[in-house]
Structure 1
């Protein structure tokens, strides 16, 4: 009887838990510090979260398909260093598409290993994390990159520009989220992604091309990483060769907070956006309340554990496992 009583609560939490948690945190931080809800602070948090958010959009496809991508941090470092170097070598007009092609090639290689060769995505992307980091160091010669002439280029538009008063990083994040949200929720390809992640065997027998779908998910993830690298390079007009180090864990945390299951088959772009913003506002709120920056790591860990526990509880229909 207790399990039956818990099911309506689990259903509500499973569908709207992230939204409820987001509102609760916003109210708590707003009451703790009035500066939290100022327009300037809200815009600053969204803008600073845009790069992480763009990466999380692509990883959402990978996770829903039942796989992982731990290479996105190193890949973002690679994209940033490459586009900055090529900017001075061949000009900004050619540097951007060239960087995208190089990053898509890396994503396609990972997609081939996981999709067509059926290798474990955790092992593959963990290995690629180190390999791409090494590739970045080899490409840069172990040096950081800076644009030589920062005043004579329009490259800063992607990270520092505005369109009708809206910062370009926020605009790119919103537009990409809208496009990928429609792709995932309203197209046959999106249904294939859910099918492959939810039940791979049934998907294959239903005629869903598993290998091609997984391969495409990694290409989407690589495209998003390339976009994030472009935004990062444009914002700072220079970069360390380790700029993306550790971001893969933050990206995965945002996707999990958004309700995407590590078991595959569930998640939405909209909730990933909420997960990204939730991480950003939690970090900002804790700093405004006077807590040292390292406290946010503990709080984030606790929230992730709760999110994973809730996901498992919803699937088994009860809060606690049977002994």
Structure 2
């Protein structure tokens, strides 16, 4: 039997490090507190992670295409405020599609700037982060939003309801992950996303309409953000106008932790889901072992660094290199 080399071990950890890390975290927190593996706790963590997870699904498309989207946090705040405001004005049946249409317009605008005008996605979405935040404050007049009649609306079904004993947010997250997973891995469009992210110039010369692919990825991301806004608004039936502030970093951490490369061309929906769950279970585990909530920010930073390290290691086939 051939001996396993250090390079082979490093290569395996670089490719499957996310799954190894997930197992290590689960075992470690279980040993620290038996409540961690309680079925109610596990279901609660997944439910609380569903909003972040839904957003991460769309950003996965953007990152694989070789771009970034730092506007999703502000866009989620906008979606949440809009649907809550329109709920009392025109009713939930019209408020929901109206909110989706407005959010998709924002996504289309970003997709146009990045895809067709070929502007840098980091600069564009960083600018849109501030612009959409200002738009949200202008729309709301700087005020938070609440539904007037919280007892007489069916709107809370999306965030608080359950079907077959499973919370609706989890069902929406799983269903959307399944659909987008098939789109990314089994359709011609999905192959084009990987091609554009892997080598945009080569993709263009092979006949792929690069601008259209990038534009569509931002539309998918906006749709997922609108869905997350719907879940957030439905769960609380009220919201601050900064509810999504800072979520863009957590979303990006989950996507990269799931194996999507910042350079584009790699990543899967399944591993993004794993990345989301790792963040959720880490936050839950830290609270169960008695650490303060603000420790999560430090841990999230460490996770981002670890994820980028694994990303680079996967490119070179080993975890470390003697060459600086």
Provide the C-alpha distance between the structure 1 equivalents of 2:310 and 2:75, rounded to a whole number of angstroms: 31
Partner in structure 2 of residue 262 of structure 1: 262
Provide the C-alpha distance between the structure 1 equivalents of 2:101 and 2:287, rounded to a whole number of angstroms: 39
For residues 31-180 of structure 1, what are the structure 2 equivalents within 5 Å?
Answer: 31-180=31-180
Per-residue deviation, 1:6: 4.2
**2:67–2:264: 8 Å Cα contact kept in structure 1?**
yes
Partner in structure 2 of residue 226 of structure 1: 226
The alignment partner of 1:224 has SS state of helix
Partner in structure 1 of residue 273 of structure 2: 273
Aligned residues: 320
The alignment partner of 2:66 has SS state of coil
Per-residue deviation, 1:313: 1.8
Provide the C-alpha distance between the structure 2 equivalents of 1:317 and 1:268, rounded to a whole number of angstroms: 19
Q: Which moved more, 1:22-31 or 1:305-314?
A: 305-314
TM-score normalised by the chain length of structure 2: 0.97
Per-residue deviation, 1:317: 3.2
Change (3 A) 1:199 1:7: farther
Per-residue deviation, 1:321: 5.2
Provide the C-alpha distance between the structure 1 equivalents of 2:255 and 2:62, rounded to a whole number of angstroms: 10
Structure 2: give runs of 5+ residues left out of the alignment. Answer: none
Provide the C-alpha distance between the structure 2 equivalents of 1:86 and 1:293, rounded to a whole number of angstroms: 33
Per-residue deviation, 1:291: 1.1
Provide the C-alpha distance between the structure 2 equivalents of 1:15 and 1:275, rounded to a whole number of angstroms: 14
1:76-132 alpha-carbon deviations (Å, 9 max, x no partner): 000000000110111111000000000000000000000000000000000000000
Per-residue deviation, 1:153: 0.9
TM-score normalised by the chain length of structure 1: 0.97
The alignment partner of 1:291 has SS state of coil
Provide the C-alpha distance between the structure 2 equivalents of 1:73 and 1:81, rounded to a whole number of angstroms: 13
The alignment partner of 2:265 has SS state of coil
Provide the C-alpha distance between the structure 2 equivalents of 1:167 and 1:302, rounded to a whole number of angstroms: 31
Partner in structure 2 of residue 187 of structure 1: 187
1:263-307 alpha-carbon deviations (Å, 9 max, x no partner): 000000000000000000001101101111122222222222122
Per-residue deviation, 1:309: 1.0
**2:250–2:300: 8 Å Cα contact kept in structure 1?**
no
**2:15–2:314: 8 Å Cα contact kept in structure 1?**
no
The alignment partner of 2:301 has SS state of helix
Per-residue deviation, 1:310: 1.6
Partner in structure 1 of residue 321 of structure 2: 320
Provide the C-alpha distance between the structure 2 equivalents of 1:296 and 1:83, rounded to a whole number of angstroms: 30
Structure 2 residue 22 is matched with structure 1 residue 18: no
Q: Which moved more, 1:7-16 or 1:139-148?
A: 7-16
Structure 2 residue 239 is matched with structure 1 residue 239: yes
Provide the C-alpha distance between the structure 2 equivalents of 1:303 and 1:229, rounded to a whole number of angstroms: 25
Supply the RMSD in Å over aligned alpha carbons: 1.1
1:217-272 alpha-carbon deviations (Å, 9 max, x no partner): 00000000000000000000010000000000110011011011000000000000
The alignment partner of 1:263 has SS state of coil
Point out 4+ residue stretches in structure 1 off by more than 2 angstroms.
4-7
